[in-house]
Amino acid sequence: MNNRLKTIIEALIFISQKPLTLEKIKNVLKEFPPKDIDQALEELLQNFSSNERGIQIIRSAGGYIFATKPEDDRWIRRLLRIERKNKLSPAALETLSTIAYHQPITLSEISALRDTDSSHTLKTLLQKKLIKIVGRKKSPGRPLIYRTSDKFLTYFGLNSLSELPTQEEISKILEEGE
């Protein structure tokens, strides 16, 4: 039974374009006892963590997703004929980390923290779906409020916002810089 469950879960993760949460798996497999699902998933993860496979299952944005291994990057790029993947611009990265650490946040608050107009960068980030609009602030002008999206977590390989670099890690960087 467990082996059957394992293959089903594997199929569900494979077909998902976004990280698949345990909650969603359980919703789909409602005929099965949740405990069995937990166990089957655990076993599946163990199978995939072996060195014999080119594909791994990683935890990302609170869910599970298939990914290749970092060491195979160059071969994949050769196949797809991609020189390199695009990185975020310095302005985009700055704006993004401002939002990540101060969310929910409005455009004018972001611009104040960065001390520079961030409307253009914000638009780019929205297009890339790394941030999302979550509502309007109840203040004059009712400005839009922004938050980071699940895609933001996946992009940086984070499981949740609590995995953002901590104050200690940041202080360490600052000390090194001096």
Partner 1 sequence: MESTESYQVKLEVFQGPLDLLLFLIRKQKIDIHDIPIATITKEYLQYLEQKEKINLDREAEFLLMAALLIYIKSQMLLPREIPLEEEEDPRQSLVYRLLDYQKMKAASTLLRKKEAEELLKWKRTFLPPLLEVEDLDLIEVSLFDLAEAFFAVMKRKEKEDFRIIKRKQYSVEEKIKEILATLKENSYLDFLNFFARQATLEEALISFFSLLELIKARRVIAVQERLFQSIKVWLMKDPATGHN
Question: In the complex, which residues of this chain contact partner 1 (CB under 8 A)?
Answer: 14, 16-18, 58, 65-71, 73, 76, 80-83, 85, 87-88, 90-91, 93-94, 96-98, 100-101, 113-117, 154-158, 164-165, 169-171, 173-174, 177-178
Least spacing, CB of residue 80 vs partner 1, in Å: 5
Cα–Cα distance between 94 and 82 in angstroms, integer? Answer: 26
Cα–Cα distance between 132 and 92 in angstroms, integer? Answer: 14
Give whichever of 39 and 66 is closer to partner 1, judged by the CB atom.
66
Q: Please name the amino acid found at residue 169.
A: E
Give whichever of 69 and 136 is closer to partner 1, judged by the CB atom.
69
Give whichever of 39 and 48 is closer to partner 1, judged by the CB atom.
48
First-last CA distance in the chain: 59
Q: Please name the amino acid found at residue 10.
A: E
CB 26, CB 37: distance < 8 Å: yes
Query: Could you write out the DSSP letters of every residue in 19-42?
Result: PEEHHHHHHHTTTS-HHHHHHHHH
Give whichever of 84 and 138 is closer to partner 1, judged by the CB atom.
84
What phi, psi does 168 have (nearest 5°)?
Answer: -60, -45
Least spacing, CB of residue 65 vs partner 1, in Å: 6
Cα–Cα distance between 158 and 46 in angstroms, integer? Answer: 20
Least spacing, CB of residue 119 vs partner 1, in Å: 11
Least spacing, CB of residue 79 vs partner 1, in Å: 9
Give whichever of 20 and 37 is closer to partner 1, judged by the CB atom.
20
Least spacing, CB of residue 1 vs partner 1, in Å: 27
CB 80, CB 35: distance < 8 Å: no
